[in-house]
Chain A
Amino acid sequence: MTGKNDVSYNSVMSRKNEIMKQAVGLDYDQFEETGLAFDYEAMMAKAGYSLDEVIDIQFETCVGRTPLVEMKNISALARLSAQPGKGARIFIKDEACNPSGSFKARRAAVSCYQAQKYGYKGVIAATSGNYGAAVASQAAMRGLKCIIVQELFDSRGLCQPEIMEKGRACEAYGAEVVQLSVGPELFYQFLVLLEETGYFNASLYTPFGIAGIETLGFEVAEQVRATAKRDPAAVLITHAGGGNVTGTARGLIKAGCDSTAVIGASVDLSGLHMASDRDFNRKSFTTGHTGFGVPFTTWPDRVDVPRNAARPLRYLDRYVTVTQGEVFYMTELLAQLEGLERGPAGNTSLAAAFAIAREYNRDEIIVVQETEYTGAGKHPAPQLTFARSQGITVRRGDPLDNKPGETIVVPQSHDQIAVQEVELSGLKRSYLKRAKMEKDKSGSDLAPLEKDYLAAEIRGTVNEVEKYFQEGQ
C-alpha cells in the first residue's frame, strides 16, 4: 500500500503495531485494562461473533457440520488392554470433510468473511500448516486474493515434505505461497507483505478466528447427545498454538457440557529447537507438537496480533503427550481398522484417546475432535522415508525409547500406547514466571486488576498469584 517505507528489519519491526492495526481492522487498545491485564471476555464478545452468526457464516462456504464417527474397532482394540468394565467408546469428528480438508476451514471462514466485510482486497496468513490451504480455499470462495507465508526449507534447501504438500494445496486454490528458510523472522517478512499489499491479516489468533472453532465444540456436544443421550466424558484436542483447545472448549461450554474434560494432546518433540536450522528437518511432525504447545500455553501473546484470543491455560483440564511413533501407529490403525486414511499430525489426539479410553467406563464416550486430509508428503510413508534420509532411526519397539530427532519407535503392540502427563501446575508456574519477568521490567507492583487477570489466566486464585510473585514459586 505505502510501498516506499524503509523495509530494513529494525524499521519494519518498529512499525509492527501500526501495521497490525491496519491489517486486522481491530483496535486492541480498547480491551487493555492496566499493565498486564486486558479484558479477554469483552474482546471475545465484542470483536468475535456469536455462535449463531458463526454458524451462518460457515454455512455460506460449506464449512462445518462434519460427521461424528464411532471408532468401533479401535475402541474394541483399546478394551483388550483395559481393566474389566473399562474402555470408553471413542468417536472421531471427521473434520477432513471440510473444504480444504481440516478443521482450520472453520477459522479461515470467519477470517475471510471479516476481510470481505471490511473491504480488504486480499488476505495473508503466516502458517506452515493446514491453515494455509484453509485460508486459500475460503479466499477463493469469497473472491479475495491470498498470500500464504510458510517456513519450508533449511539452509541446504531441503524441504519438509509435509509443508511442501501444504504449499501445493495453497497454490491449487490460487494462492501465492512465499516460502522461507528456518527462522522466526518469518514474522518480519509477513509484516513487509502486509504493508506492501494492504491485505487483511488472517491471523490464527484473532477473536473471530477463535470464534470460528466454537462451532466445532458445539457440534461435538450436539452430535454426542443425539447419538447417546449423554455428554462426552472427555474431548481430546490436538494442541499446538492453542486455538483448537480454546475454541473447542468455548463451544463445549456454550453447549452446556459442564462435566466434559478438555484434554490437550501434543506430539513430544522435547529437545528439538523450533528455530534451529539443524533440528528443522529432524522432526516428522510440523504441527500438533510440544514445540508449539508448551510455549503458546505458557505465554500466548507471542503471536502476530497484539492479544492472542487463544488462551489454552484457561480451558485445559489435562495436557498429555504422545510420541511420533505412536501417532504413526494410530494413523495406520485408523486406515486399516476404520477405513479412514487421515492425518498423520491430526491423529495426535487419537493416539492419546486410545490410551485414555482405558480410564473410562465402557458406556462413556470420549471424542477425538478432528481429522485432517492425507496427501503426498503428508502421510506416514513419505514422512518416515524422509526421516530415514536424515539419519533418524526408525524401528519397532517400546515407545518409551522414542527420542525426538534421533529415534522413532513404532510400538511393538497396541497395549504399549500410553500418554505422558504434562503437569498443568508446572505450565502455570512458567506462565507466572513470564508474567513476573514482564512486570519486573516495568518496575511497578501488581495492580488488583492484574491479580484478577492472572488468576483467570491460570484458572487459579489471586492468592496463588500473590504467593508466586512474593516467593517466586
Chain B
Amino acid sequence: MSGSYRAKIAAVLRKGSELMKEANKGDWVQIFKIVLQPNDRAPGLPAETAAVPLTMKVKGFLKNNSARLGDAVMIETITGRVTEGEMIAVNPVYDINYGAPQQDLLQVGIEARLALKGGKNSQ
C-alpha cells in the first residue's frame, strides 16, 4: 500500500513537471549550461571527470515572452542577475525526502535502551 502511494506521489510530481513544458515571461524556471568543455577543464582531474563537461544549473524568472523546455532562454535570478542557458524545468520541484526506513537502524534504539537497563551489554 505504502509502495503504491509513493509511486502515485512520484507520478504526480513527474506529471506536474512534464505538464509544465512551457513557460511564460516571469515564470520561475531552471536553466542549464556548459561552463567548460572537457578540453578546457583544469589539468590533473581524474579521467572520469576530465571526460565530461563542467555544467551549471541556475534558477530565475523567465525573461523571454514564452519558451519550451530545451529552448535557449534568458532569466533574471533572485539577486537580479541576468543570465542565459537551456531551459530544463519550469517551477522545479525540490526532489528531496526522508527516504525509506532503514532496517539496519531500526534496532539501534531498542538495543541501546535494553543495554542501559542492564539487559544486554553488547547487543
Near A by CB (< 8 A), chain B positions 37-54 give 40-42, 45-46, 48-49, 52-54
Contact of A62 with B by CB under 8 A: no
Chain A stretch 365-388: residues in CB contact (< 8 A) with chain B: 375-377, 379-386
B81 contacts which chain A residues (CB < 8 A)? 147, 176, 196-197
Q: Is the CB of A415 within 8 A of B35?
A: no
B19 at the interface (CB under 8 A from A): no
Residue-by-residue, is B100-123 near A (CB-CB < 8 Å gives 1, otherwise 0)?
111011011101110110000111
Are A415 and B121 in contact, CB atoms less than 8 angstroms apart? yes
Distance in Å: Cβ of A329 to nearest Cβ of chain B: 6
Question: Are A277 and B58 within 8 A (Cβ)?
Answer: no
Determine if A394 is an interface residue (Cβ-Cβ < 8 Å).
Answer: yes
Comparing B10-18, B62-70, B91-99, the segment that makes contact with chain A is B91-99
Choose one: B57, B102, B113; the contact of A380 (CB below 8 Å).
Answer: B102
- The answer, yes or no, to whether B55 is at the interface (CB within 8 Å) is yes
Tell me if A189 is interfacial: C-beta within 8 Å of chain B.
Answer: yes
Residues in B neighbouring A381, C-beta threshold 8 A: 98-102, 105
- Type the 1/0 row for A182-204, where 1 means its CB is closer than 8 Å to any CB of B: 11110011000000110000000
Among A146, A153, A380, max chain B CB count under 10 A is at A380
Which 6 residue pairs are nearest across A and B when measured between Cβ atoms? A382-B99, A336-B109, A385-B99, A377-B96, A381-B99, A155-B52
Give the chain B neighbours of A275 by CB distance below 8 A.
45-46, 49
Which residue among A159, A277, A375 has the maximum number of chain B CB atoms within 10 Å of its CB?
A: A277
Q: State A338–B96 Cα separation when bound (angstroms).
A: 26
A77 touches B99 (CB 8 A): no
The CB with the most chain A CB atoms within 10 A, among B46, B95, B101, is that of B46
Inter-chain CA distance A237–B8, complex, in Å, is 43
CB-defined contacts of A178 to chain B, threshold 8 Å: 56-58
Q: Chain B residue with minimal CB distance to A122?
A: B79
Between A and B, 29 residue pairs with Cβ closer than 8 Å are A9-B40, A9-B41, A73-B112, A77-B112, A77-B116, A81-B122, A146-B79, A147-B81, A155-B55, A176-B79, A179-B56, A179-B57, A181-B56, A183-B36, A188-B36, A277-B46, A278-B48, A333-B112, A335-B109, A336-B112, A336-B113, A337-B109, A337-B112, A381-B100, A382-B97, A383-B99, A384-B102, A394-B104, A414-B112
- Minimum C-beta distance from A429 to chain B (A): 22
User: Which of A24-32, A107-115, A161-169, A301-309 is found at the contact surface with chain B?
Assistant: A161-169
Task: State in angstroms the CA–CA spacing of A177 and B119 once bound together.
Answer: 50
A175 within 8 A of B: yes
- For A384, what are the chain B residues with a Cβ–Cβ distance below 8 Å? 99, 102, 104-105
Which residues of chain B are within 8 angstroms of A189 by Cβ–Cβ distance?
35, 54, 56
Contacts of A383 in B (CB 8 A): 99
Nearest chain B CB to A418 CB, angstrom units: 13
Number of interface residues of A (CB under 8 A): 68
Chain B residues within 8 Å of A278, by CB: 46, 48
User: Does the CB pair A147–B79 fall under 8 Å?
Assistant: yes
Residue of A nearest to B106 (CB): A332
B77 at the A interface (CB under 8 A): yes
Minimum Cβ distance to chain B for residue A414 (Å): 6
Verify if A459 is at the interface (C-beta below 8 Å from B).
no
CB nearest neighbor in A for B30: A179
Chain B contacts for A155, CB-based, 8 A? 52-53, 55
CA distance A340 to B20 in the complex (A): 40
The answer to whether A332 and B46 touch (CB under 8 A), given A9-B36, A145-B79, A180-B55, is: no
Instruction: Tell whether A15 is near chain B: CB-to-CB under 8 Å.
Output: no
Measured between alpha carbons, how far is A165 from B55 in the docked complex, in Å? Answer: 20
Contacts of B54 in A (CB 8 A): 180-181, 183, 185, 189
CB proximity of A6 to chain B, nearest CB, Å: 13
A396 interface residue per 8 A CB criterion: yes
Q: How far is the CA of A152 from the CA of B95 in the complex (A)?
A: 13
Say how far B95's CB is from chain A's closest CB, in angstroms: 7
A180-B56 in contact (CB<8A): yes
Contact yes or no, A376 B98, CB < 8 A: yes
Q: Mark B23-42, 1 if CB is under 8 A from A, else 0.
A: 00000000000011000111
Residues of A close to B101: CB separation below 8 A: 381
Most buried by B among A181, A278, A328, A376: A181
A412–B112 Cα distance when bound, in Å, is 11
- Given A174-B78, A382-B98, A382-B99, decide whether A277 and B48 contact each other with a Cβ distance below 8 A: yes
Collect the chain A residues with CB atoms within 8 Å of residue B108's CB. Answer: 329, 332-333, 336, 410
Q: A176-B81, A185-B41, A410-B105 are in contact. Are A80 and B96 (CB under 8 A)?
A: no
- Tell me whether A277 and B49 are in contact (CB under 8 A): yes
